[in-house]
Structure 1
């Protein structure tokens, strides 16, 4: 391997076999992009010799074993993408040395353990995707210190407990303006590596590159979280995707969620929610996906604005709901029963329009997260 090599991008080339140990001989390597191939075996433990490494993307291969403890000297790492492999075990302790990490994507592996021992090390983190692993324990309070976090996906794990109140004070998710972070890296040879987002959400796939700052998403679905939907969720007004489905929440839907007018996807399905349908939810103006099915909601579904555009599947299996959307008569009643929270708020709606989320690489627009190199077109990341 050429010692002077700085940028190596071989994504989407149908490569097979193991990653050669000679890769690590390129001590000046800044970007290593081998995603979307058929590479197998383990991640070489001597990758830690590449102390100048800024981007390591090995996602969507067939890599096995544990993530090696190689990050003690790779302190400049900005992007680490190891998703869609067959990795297992705990997070390596040396990863805590990567304080400048902005993107961490480990989706669809078998990684386990808790988060509290290492998450607070990443003060620059903007994108964290850990979906479809085996992480356990409570969501740590340290998340509230990640002020730059704009995309968080912890779905389909085994997290338990409640969502901490401080967790809802994430500054970037509360910010309704575009993030100023570019998530780009200029290699020393003049080539730009542009991080991109490809997010699959409810059957839609959208890809973001240059407008990545618009993408703000929170997905916690399919965990063992309990209690009620936090009333302070409405403080995250910059979100365009909010997915709390398949969580053991009970109680009413907070009326204040209606003030999150930039939302384009809201999923509160398959929970234990009860009470009347909040009237303020008809203030949404940008929704293209909405689901409150499989709950215990009651009353008339408001027919104003966008709620009237969703069919019965968005409201199904709520025995007490009625209205035009689910084609169930309200027995002559023309008004939705008003809950105490509905009486409080008559805020006018601001017409703010944004779009979806995901993670990936490339020069395009999407709903998953994937980083892209200015040399090789990025591979598309699948986010179920």
Structure 2
């Protein structure tokens, strides 16, 4: 059933329906509000994004209907308060998107019980979650391809068990209050060390709602891309990125990052990183976007940076870099603003 992209308003009645065969129901892009009707728990896929739903607890914590949910998309609604701690009753879930709401508090431990599913995307960005990053994300959700916790209030260090997420293509922890250093184990992000993308077939996400009905779902998310906040379609197919910008990270950029040669975008800007830019950064042959601005980086710009011919966005401004800017066809195309406020830099 698809009644998406209309101007339907008001509360959805909790109809006394018995849904069979775990149907796919799409009510997205309307103006529905209030509680999510409980009969939708019987559906296999429920798309409710871009509405005004405000109550999640009565839906996820209800035991009145058996849950068959495989896909739950509640992004861009008006959900507020803490996430309910009832996710262990929704063990059939394989896809959860709660981004761009008004959720706050800590991520409940029961979300870590969703470990038997092939959860490939977890997007809780643009909310008001706080506290340390939950350890169970790295310990349990080993199938994650996309992890986006951007624009929240997470604090504490980057836990090293994040490095267990070897299948990650997108790690976005930008605009939080994270501190400490970047773990040296980032080299364990093995999908970011391999220059090839998986074939289109293997990266298409088909979810089985019952024995004969499958639904295809694209992995779309908002991220900072070349200086602008944009919605990126099929991010898992076409993008390998790390964004740790706008935190309070300290220490040096670990040399182990040199192994992540498949990165297309790397944003470590607006932190307190010090030391030199890794000398082998020229090995990032696929890199299109590099932002290391507004840190305390020093030393010379590695000459190998001039070897990246795909680079279309570069920002090294507001650091303490010195010496001559390396000569290379690509580097000479960037505006002086890419290098400004480095008092001992010339060229």
Same fold per TM (> 0.5)?
Answer: yes
Aligned-residue offset at 1:153: 0.4
1:3 aligns with 2:28: no
Give 1:294's aligned residue: 318
Q: Is the 8 A contact 1:128 1:153 kept in 2?
A: yes
1:187 aligns with 2:212: no
Aligned-residue offset at 1:305: 2.5
Give 2:110's aligned residue: 94
Give 1:368's aligned residue: none
Deviation by residue 1:129-174 (Cα, 9 ceiling, x = unmatched):
0011111111111112111111110111111111111133211111
Q: Distance in 2 between matches of 1:113 and 1:75?
A: 25
- Which residues of 2 match residues 1-384 of structure 1 at below 5 A? 1=15, 2-4=17-19, 6-13=23-30, 15-20=31-36, 23-46=37-60, 49=63, 51-99=67-115, 100=117, 101-119=119-137, 120-179=139-198, 180-188=202-210, 190-198=213-221, 199-201=223-225, 202-203=227-228, 205=230, 207-209=232-234, 212-323=236-347
Q: Distance in 2 between matches of 1:235 and 1:128?
A: 20
Task: Please provide the CA RMSD for this pair.
Answer: 1.9
Q: Distance in 1 between matches of 2:324 and 2:253?
A: 21
Aligned-residue offset at 1:45: 4.3
Aligned-residue offset at 1:106: 0.6
Q: Residues 48 and 94 from structure 1, CA distance in 2 versus in 1: closer, same or farther, beyond 3 angstroms? A: farther
Q: Which runs of 5+ in 2 are unaligned?
A: 1-14
Q: With CA pairs under 8 Å and 6+ residues apart, which has the higher RCO, 1 or 2?
A: 1
Aligned-residue offset at 1:186: 4.1
Deviation by residue 1:297-356 (Cα, 9 ceiling, x = unmatched):
111212313111111111111111122xxxxxxxxxxxxxxxxxxxxxxxxxxxxxxxxx
Give 2:7's aligned residue: none
Give 1:336's aligned residue: none
Q: Residues 289 and 11 from structure 1, CA distance in 2 versus in 1: closer, same or farther, beyond 3 angstroms? A: same
Q: Is the 8 A contact 1:107 1:130 kept in 2?
A: yes
Q: Distance in 2 between matches of 1:293 and 1:184?
A: 43
Q: Is the 8 A contact 1:34 1:57 kept in 2?
A: yes
Q: TM-score, normalised by structure 2?
A: 0.86
Q: Distance in 2 between matches of 1:48 and 1:322?
A: 64
Aligned-residue offset at 1:117: 3.1
Q: Distance in 1 between matches of 2:39 and 2:217?
A: 25
Q: Residues 245 and 279 from structure 1, CA distance in 2 versus in 1: closer, same or farther, beyond 3 angstroms? A: same
What SS is found at the alignment partner of 2:150?
coil
Q: Is the 8 A contact 2:107 2:134 kept in 1?
A: no
What SS is found at the alignment partner of 1:290?
strand
Give 1:380's aligned residue: none
Q: Residues 51 and 41 from structure 1, CA distance in 2 versus in 1: closer, same or farther, beyond 3 angstroms? A: closer
Q: Which runs of 5+ in 1 are unaligned?
A: 324-384
Q: TM-score, normalised by structure 1?
A: 0.78
